[in-house]
Amino acid sequence: MRRRRPMLGGGGERKAERMALTAEKLKSSLDALAAIEPAFAAAIARIGYPAPRIRDSGYETLLRAIVGQQVSIKAAASILARVEAATGGTADPTNVAATSDEDLRAAGLSRQKIAYIKSLAEEVLSGRLDFAALPADDEAAIAALTRVKGIGRWTAEVYLLFAEGRTDVWPAGDLAVQVEVGRILGLAERPTEKKVRELAEPWRPHRGAAAIFAWHHRHVVPI
């Protein structure tokens, strides 16, 4: 059976460039958020605006996210370099699909992560996962991504925020977001995921900018 050609570059990269949450767009969204929530206005005045975080849209960004799960940034970079060499190039899912599990294990991947990246490659090669055709609705796009083995909600949310520039994606399950939202709002205790979702309802459609600022706040404000 002929396989559908996956979106790996070209149009996918142009899409990422067009939709990226640039510094200008991020600042505009945070200014709008500050007008809604005075605590964010005070925090922005105190520590300034975060730098944008922009990633390429498509298969390779998600593959890198899987490889980097539960390891340090340094270790992930080292493993990725070895996987790149073992596969002959991770940008093409055909290479990953054709590489033996033994070679991927020798590159430093666990059996679980091998299953995950091969599942991702197969989803893309079969056309079941088409990055250029992800639903416009954020929850529907998250559902489409999390159908892939190894892609959880947090990974899907971060992908949509940084690779697609979706301004209202809200990773409320992220511990750092919970901690920093609590600190920014002056809460006595870290809010739960449920509470963070409730608190952020008035911030629509700028919750993605709120998340980026929360991560910025964590690295700038002294503990």
Q: Which residues are catalytic, by number?
A: 174
**CA atoms of 123 and 107, how far apart (whole Å):** 22
Q: Coil, strand, or helix at residue 4?
A: coil
Question: Rounded to an integer, what distance in angstroms lies between the CA atom of residue 28 and that of residue 5?
Answer: 37
Q: Where are the alpha helices (DSSP H) in 68-174?
A: 73-87, 93-98, 101-106, 111-126, 138-146, 153-162
Decide if 164 contacts 145 (C-beta within 8 A).
no
Task: Determine contact, residues 161/212, Cβ cutoff 8 Å.
Answer: yes
CB 192 within 8 A of CB 154: no
Place of tokens 């929530």: 37
* Dihedral sign for Cα atoms in the order 221, 53, 96, 78: negative
One-character DSSP codes across 33-85: HHHH-HHHHHHHHHH-PPPP-----SHHHHHHHHHTTTS-HHHHHHHHHHHHH
